[in-house]
Amino acid sequence: MTFMGISGRATVSFIVVMIGLYLGNISTSGTKTQTIRIVDVVLIGPLMIYLGYHAHARATMPSLFSILLMFFGATTITYNLKNYLHALHASK
């Protein structure tokens, strides 16, 4: 399936990158919103760990990259959860 001469996989990748750029712009305009932190904790971090684990298990990605993907997924969760809880207690 193509869209304007671009394959479906490339179209999805483009959309994902554009959403990431948009969310990055939102999260860097001042302080990071609590909504973005929750998305990082609940969606982005676990997704990074999942993709890294499955890429490592299936050997579809070089070992170092999959390990780093899992590592940064875990640090994304802990960093953003800590900051979310800190901001939550500071607002009370």
What does the pLDDT look like over 39-65, one tens digit per residue?
Answer: 999 999 999 999 888 887 787 767 888
> Which residues of 21-74 form beta strands (DSSP E)?
none
Band of pLDDT at residue 5, cut at 50, 70 and 90: low
Specify whether 25 is located in the same domain as 36.
no
CA 91 to chain centre: 26
Give the chain's domain count.
2
pTM given for the model: 0.67
Same domain, 56 and 83: yes
Same domain, 36 and 24: no
Residues 60, 86, single domain; the answer is yes
Q: Residue 72 belongs to what domain range? A: 31-92
CB neighbour list of residue 30: distance below 8 Å, 6 or more residues apart: none
Residue 85: closest CA among 23, 38, 42, 28: 38
